[in-house]
A = this chain, B = another copy of it.
Amino acid sequence: LLTEVQRDRLEVVLVSPRNPLNIGAAARAMANFGFSRLAVATSYQENWREARSAVGAPDVLLNARSTESLGEAVTACTLVVGTGSLTYRKPDQRVVSLPDLPALVGGELARGGRVAIVFGPEKHGLTREDLSHCHMLVEIPTDTRQPSMNLGQAVAVCLYEVAIHSFPPERDAHRSEETKIAAISGRLEILADVIEQTMVATEYSPAAMRDSNRHDLRVLLRRMALSEADTRRVLGLFRRIQWWLKRRQSKQEDRA
């Protein structure tokens, strides 16, 4: 089972939930399984206010964070897990079945990482853009005739599985302490920014491709499972490249 400290490093993120009852139900499931960190990334401020002001709203809801974007909500997390069904999509990310999630989450928390489990809006779930912030997509193995779960029930099932079946994994003797700590999402975003700037500066591809490149870059950086130390090194390299590019550019301007 997860310790109190580990539970406190697991964050539930709801992206643009529409029904205040579902927000309340998600918060209640969190309290049932001993989790307390809820973030709501939404522009529907009214639904959010309504959920919080409901009679008997649990502490989880009263203490929740509200952010403008999913990126902002998960900025401090080292493992971001999106949820959804695969019926209508072919994701860019690694897909794991819910029963396999506890070992991954338990391992990340035991290494001192911070985990986010992300739930999309009721109607259509997480978008491809939302998923570009995720390291993996977890699928709840539902019946193909009725694959889509109610939001509050999906949260309950995922947190039950993680709370009950997580266990600290055996120590990984092959990796040093430093390389075991995964990079936080915020640092990956900075790295993506710097690499993107480099792509633009070097005219890597046409301007029309920028959005697509940015998406692929996000997905790639998460798939690489970079450690905090790896990320610092890559970031250092790209900042150095940028410095040289600027230097070269100013020399060319001097010459002109």
Q: Which residues of A approach B to under 8 Å, CB–CB?
A: 21, 25, 28-29, 31-34, 58, 98-99, 140-143, 145-150, 152-153, 156-157, 160-161, 163-165
The contact of A25 among B141, B150, B157, by CB within 8 Å, is: B150
Are B141 and A164 closer than 8 Å at their CB atoms?
A: yes
Q: Supply 24 A–B pairs (Cβ within 8 Å), ascending by A.
A: A25-B150, A25-B152, A25-B153, A28-B146, A28-B149, A28-B150, A29-B149, A29-B153, A31-B145, A32-B142, A32-B143, A32-B149, A33-B142, A33-B143, A34-B142, A58-B146, A99-B164, A99-B165, A140-B160, A149-B156, A150-B152, A152-B153, A153-B153, A157-B157
A172 to chain B minimum Cβ distance, whole angstroms, is 26
The contact of A160 among B25, B148, B160, by CB within 8 Å, is: B160
| Residues of the B chain whose Cβ atoms lie less than 8 Å from the Cβ of A145 | 31, 34
A154 to chain B minimum Cβ distance, whole angstroms, is 8
Q: A88–B208 Cα gap in the complex (Å)?
A: 64
A25 to chain B minimum Cβ distance, whole angstroms, is 6
| Residues of the B chain whose Cβ atoms lie less than 8 Å from the Cβ of A153 | 25, 28-29, 32, 152-153, 156
| Residues of the B chain whose Cβ atoms lie less than 8 Å from the Cβ of A164 | 98-99, 141
| Residues of the B chain whose Cβ atoms lie less than 8 Å from the Cβ of A141 | 163-164
A19 to chain B minimum Cβ distance, whole angstroms, is 11
Q: A157–B157 Cα gap in the complex (Å)?
A: 5
